[in-house]
C-alpha cells in the first residue's frame, strides 16, 4: 500500500459544453452541484452518507490493519505511517477547502443536508478521536511488539551514557550545522512555520537578567526522522534501513537528539523547557488558466503561494503548557478546536523507515510480478515482441500481479526503438522521478518519431515533478500539451502508430492506473493492450480533442468524460432495471475507489427497487447507503484493503445474457465525471470479461475477508467465519493464482 491515498475531490462544478470551450474554473471555486437529480422526488432525503465522514471511515479501516495481529508487524508500522500521511492530506485539501469556502461565503449544505459549519465540527471531533486511537495503537500495541522483536523505539533519555555520547558526536558533526534557531521577541517577529514541519518550541532564560525568552527550532526535513543506535552502540543516520540485519536495534527520534543538545544552539542561556509541535496548512492549488500566458509559470507561482497557505491544524505534545499553546493558536490564526494534543513522538509518517527494515519474517511474503503469458517469448532464447503479441489478441493486464516493466513499459520502450513506429501519443498524470516512460518518449523523439505527451501539471502534489518532466520533454523535441482549459486530463492512454507491410496499424494501451513504474508494484490496476481498429480510431479522436480542436468526436469502444461517462453508465443501469422488471436476469457489478455522484447513486437505488442485484466494491468513500428496506435492499457494498492499494475501476452489467464490462480511469465522483478527461474502454474478449466479473465476485464472496457497509453508514470488519477460521485474503489469492494462470495460458 502506498504512503498516501488520493482523498481529494473538489466541490462539484458544472459539466462543460462539448460544443464550446469549457468554462475557466479552478477545482475549488465552484461549490454548488449543477446536475439535477432526476426522479429524486420519490427517494428519501436521508439516502446519502456524507462523503467527508465516509473518508474518515476509510482511514479508520487503514488503522484497523495496523491493529490487526494478522498483519505482519513491520507492515503494521507502515499502516500507521499511511494513516498519518492520509490524514495530513485530508486536512491540507478537504478540511482546508471546506474552511476556505465557509470563509468566502460559497459553502452550501452537502447532499446529506448537513450545514458546512456543522460538518467541520463533526470532522474535527472525529479526527480527534481517530488521532488519539492512532497514537494509542502505536504506543500500546505496535511499539511494545516491535521491542519484543528487538526493534526499540526509544527516547533519548532512555539510552545509556555510551549511546548518548555517540549520538552527541553525531549531533555535532551532522545535525548541528543544519539547524537554525529563531528567536521571538520585539526585534524578531514570530517566524513562518512551514506546513507539516516538525518543530521545537523552546523556553529560554537569560541567567544574567532573569528574563524569559521563546524560540523555535525546526527539525530539518533533510535529515532522517529516526537515528539508529546498533547493538554495539554506534550511532548513525538511517537513510536506507534495509541494510540492517536481525540484531537488536534502537531508534531515537531526531527531535529528541536536537532537544538534548539545545545548549549548543543557545550558549550562555538556560534551557528551561522544550516541546514539540507540528502545523498543517492549506496546500491545495488553484490556477486560473485564462489569466496565464504560460501555464507552467502560473503553476510554479501557485506552488510558491501554497507554501504560505493558512494553518488548519496544530499538533502539539500533550505536555505543552497553556501559555505556549495560546501563543501558537494566536500567531497561527486557528481555533482551540484545531489543536490536537498527542503523546510524543509526533508525526508518525516517519515509521516508514522502520517498516523498511530488512526483516522478512515481519513483513509480507516476498512477491515478484510475472510476465503476462501472452507477452512471454514463445521460445526461451526469443526476445519479447510486444507488437507481435498484441497482434495475436488483446492482452488484459492485472497489475501488480502482471509485471508492468515487461508489459506497458516494454511496449513503450520497444515503440521508441522500432524503426517501423512513426508516432507515439501518451498521457502522463503521475510518473516516477526516474521514469522509464519519460525516457522512452525522449528516445523516440530523438529517433525522429512524432511524439506527443499530454502532461497534466495539475496532478495534486505532483505538480513540481510534472513541471520538470514537461520541460525535459520539450527540450528533447517532444510535443508537450496540457489538455483542455478547466479540465484535468486523468485518462491513462498510449497510442503507437506503426507502419507494417499491409499499412498503418495503431497499437493502444488503456489503463486504470498511472504510468508510474514504482506505484505499479503497489497499486492494483488493470490495463488493456490492443490493436483493435475501433480502439485505435477512438484514441486518435480523443488525442485530437486534447491537442487540437475536435469537439464533435464520437467513439466506438470508449466512453469519455466529461460528456459521456455518467450518461453512459446510468443508461446501462436503467437498462438493467428494465430487464429486472421484465423478469430477466439483471445485475450491476462495480469496483471503484469512491462513489459520491448523486445521479449515479439514485440510478442504483431505482435499479435496486426494480429488483436488480447490485454489488459494489468501494475502497474509499461511499455516499450510497446500502441495505435500506424499500430503497437499497438489493445493494451490497464491500471494501478491500491490504498490502496493495485497490485502484482499478470496473463497470459490469448483465447485458441481457451478454455481459458488458468496461475498465478505465473514472471513479464515480463529481470531479471525474464533470471536470476531468476520463476514458472507459469496453472489454470484448469473453474470457477477459469473465475474469473481470470474477474479480468483483471474489471480493463479494462470503469466504473473502473484507469490510461491509451497513445501512447506518458503519463499516463492519469481516475477518473470520462462523467457526472462527480466518477468511481468505483476496490479494494473497491472486498472488497464488498468478503462476498457475500463466501455465494454463488464461
- Write out the catalytic residue numbers: 490
Those residues with Cβ within 8 angstroms of residue 90's Cβ, 6 or more apart along the chain or in another chain: 7, 55, 56, 59
Sign of the torsion angle spanned by Cα atoms 534, 536, 542, 545: negative
DSSP letter at 584?
A: -
Q: Are 5 and 620 in contact (CB under 8 A)?
A: yes
Instruction: Quote the cell numbers at residue 423.
Output: 508516432
The residue to which cell 510534472 is assigned: 466
Cβ–Cβ < 8 Å for 48, 111: yes
| 363 within 8 A of 75, measured Cβ to Cβ | yes
Angle between helices 436-446 and 408-417 (to 10 degrees): 20
Contact 470, 441 (CB under 8 A): no
Euclidean distance between CA atoms 624 and 79, whole angstroms = 26
- Helix spans in 68-112 (H): 73-89, 96-104
Which of 151, 158, 163 has its CA nearest to residue 235?
A: 163
The length of the chain, given as a count of residues: 746
Tell me how far apart the alpha carbons of residues 80 and 130 are, in angstroms, rounded to a whole number.
12
Decide: 533 and 563 in contact? Cβ < 8 Å: no
Residue 520: name the closest of 512, 531, 530 by CA: 512
Residue 290, class by beta-carbon neighbours within 10 Å (0-12 exposed, 13-18 middle, 19+ buried)? Answer: exposed
C-alpha–C-alpha distance, residues 544 and 538, integer Å: 10
Q: Which residue from 2, 1, 650, 734 is spatially nearest to 370, judged by alpha carbons?
A: 734
| Cα 391 to chain centroid, rounded | 34
Nearest C-alpha neighbor of 256 from the set 181, 153, 162:
153
Amino acid at each position: 500500500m502506498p504512503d498516501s491515498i488520493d482523498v481529494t475531490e473538489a466541490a462539484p462544478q458544472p459539466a462543460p459544453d462539448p460544443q464550446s470551450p469549457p468554462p475557466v474554473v479552478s477545482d475549488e471555486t465552484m461549490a454548488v452541484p449543477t446536475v439535477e437529480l432526476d426522479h429524486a422526488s420519490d427517494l428519501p432525503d436521508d439516502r446519502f452518507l456524507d462523503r467527508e465522514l465516509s473518508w474518515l471511515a476509510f482511514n479508520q479501516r487503514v488503522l484497523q490493519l495496523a491493529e490487526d495481529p494478522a498483519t505482519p508487524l513491520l507492515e503494521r508500522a507502515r499502516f500507521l505511517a499511511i494513516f498519518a500521511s492520509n490524514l495530513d492530506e485530508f486536512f491540507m485539501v478537504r478540511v482546508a477547502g471546506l474552511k476556505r469556502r465557509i470563509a468566502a461565503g460559497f459553502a452550501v449544505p452537502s447532499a446529506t443536508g448537513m450545514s458546512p459549519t456543522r460538518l467541520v465540527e463533526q470532522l474535527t471531533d472525529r479526527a480527534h478521536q481517530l488521532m488519539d486511537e492512532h497514537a494509542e495503537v502505536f504506543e500500546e500495541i505496535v511499539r511494545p511488539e516491535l521491542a519484543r522483536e528487538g526493534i526499540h523505539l526509544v527516547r533519548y533519555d532512555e539510552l545509556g551514557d555510551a549511546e548518548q555520547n555517540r549520538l552527541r558526536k553525531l549531533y555535532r558533526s551532522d545535525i548541528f550545522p543544519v539547524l537554525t534557531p529563531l528567536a521571538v521577541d520585539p526585534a524578531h517577529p514570530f517566524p513562518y512555520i512551514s506546513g507539516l514541519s516538525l518543530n521545537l518550541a523552546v523556553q529560554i532564560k537569560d541567567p544574567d537578567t532573569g528574563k524569559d525568552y521563546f524560540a523555535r527550532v525546526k527539525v530539518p526535513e533533510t535529515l532522517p526522522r529516526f537515528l539508529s543506535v546498533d547493538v554495539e552502540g554506534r550511532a548513525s543516520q538511517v537513510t536506507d534501513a534495509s541494510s540492517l540485519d536481525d540484531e537488536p536495534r534502537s531508534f531515537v527520534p531526531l527531535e529528541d537528539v536536537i532537544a538534548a543538545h539545545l545548549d549548543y544552539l543557545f550558549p550562555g542561556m538556560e534551557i528551561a523547557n522544550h516541546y514539540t509541535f507540528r502545523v498543517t496548512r492549506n496546500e491545495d492549488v488553484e490556477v486560473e488558466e485564462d489569466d496565464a500566458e504560460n501555464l507552467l509559470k502560473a503553476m510554479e507561482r501557485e506552488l510558491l503561494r501554497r507554501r504560505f497557505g493558512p494553518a488548519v491544524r496544530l499538533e502539539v505534545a500533550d505536555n505543552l503548557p497553556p501559555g505556549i499553546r495560546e501563543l501558537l493558536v494566536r500567531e497561527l490564526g486557528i481555533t482551540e478546536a484545531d489543536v490536537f494534543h498527542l503523546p510524543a513522538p509526533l508525526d508518525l509518517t516517519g515509521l516508514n523507515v522502520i517498516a523498511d527494515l530488512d526483516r522478512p519474517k515481519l513483513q509480507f511474503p516476498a512477491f515478484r510480478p510475472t510476465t503476462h503469458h501472452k507477452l512471454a517469448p514463445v521460445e526461451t532464447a526469443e526476445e519479447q515482441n510486444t507488437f507481435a503479441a498484441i497482434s495475436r489478441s488483446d492482452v488484459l493486464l492485472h497489475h501488480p500481479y502482471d509485471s508492468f516493466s515487461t508489459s506497458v513499459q516494454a511496449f513503450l520502450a520497444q515503440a521508441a526503438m522500432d524503426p517501423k513506429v512513426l508516432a507515439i501519443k501518451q498521457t502522463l498524470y503521475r510518473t516516477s522521478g526516474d521514469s522509464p516512460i519519460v525516457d522512452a518518449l525522449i528516445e523516440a523523439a530523438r529517433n525522429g518519431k512524432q511524439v506527443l505527451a499530454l502532461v497534466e501539471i495539475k496532478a495534486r502534489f505532483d505538480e513540481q515533478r510534472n513541471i520538470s518532466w514537461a520541460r525535459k520533454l520539450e527540450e528533447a523535441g517532444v510535443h508537450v500539451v496540457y489538455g483542455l482549459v478547466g479540465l484535468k486530463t486523468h485518462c491513462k492512454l498510449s497510442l503507437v502508430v506503426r507502419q507494417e507491410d499491409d499499412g498503418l496499424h495503431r497499437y493502444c494501451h488503456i489503463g486504470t492506473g498511472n504510468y508510474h513504474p514504482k506505484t505499479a508494484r503497489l497499486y492494483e490496476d488493470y490495463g488493456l493492450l490492443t490493436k483493435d481498429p475501433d480502439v485505435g480510431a477512438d484514441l486518435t479522436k480523443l488525442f485530437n480533442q486534447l491537442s487540437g480542436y475536435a469537439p464533435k468526436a464520437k467513439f466506438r469502444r470508449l466512453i469519455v468524460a466529461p460528456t459521456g461517462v455518467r450518461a453512459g453508465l446510468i443508461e446501462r443501469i436503467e437498462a438493467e432495471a428494465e430487464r429486472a422488471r421484465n423478469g430477466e436476469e439483471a445485475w450491476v457489478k462495480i469496483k471503484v475507489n469512491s462513489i459520491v455522484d448523486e445521479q449515479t447513486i439514485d440510478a442504483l437505488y431505482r435499479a435496486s427497487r426494480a429488483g436488480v442485484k447490485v454489488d459494489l466494491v468501494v475502497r474509499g468513500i461511499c455516499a450510497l447507503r446500502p441495505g435500506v428496506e424499500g430503497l437499497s435492499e438489493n445493494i451490497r457494498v464491500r471494501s478491500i484493503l491490504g498490502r496493495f492499494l485497490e485502484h482499478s475501476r470496473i463497470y459490469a452489467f448483465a447485458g441481457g445474457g451478454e455481459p458488458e464490462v468496461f475498465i478505465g480511469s473514472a471513479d464515480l465522483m463529481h470531479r471525474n465525471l464533470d471536470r476531468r478527461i476520463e476514458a472507459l474502454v469496453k472489454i470484448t474478449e469473453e474470457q477477459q470479461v469473465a475474469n473481470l466479473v470474477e474479480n468483483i465476485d471474489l471480493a463479494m464472496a462470503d469466504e473473502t475477508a473484507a469490510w461491509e457497509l451497513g445501512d447506518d453508514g458503519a463499516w463492519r470488519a469481516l475477518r473470520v467465519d462462523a467457526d472462527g477460521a480466518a477468511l481468505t485474503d483476496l490479494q494473497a489469492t491472486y498472488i497464488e493464482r498468478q503462476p498457475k494462470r500463466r501455465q494454463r495460458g488464461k
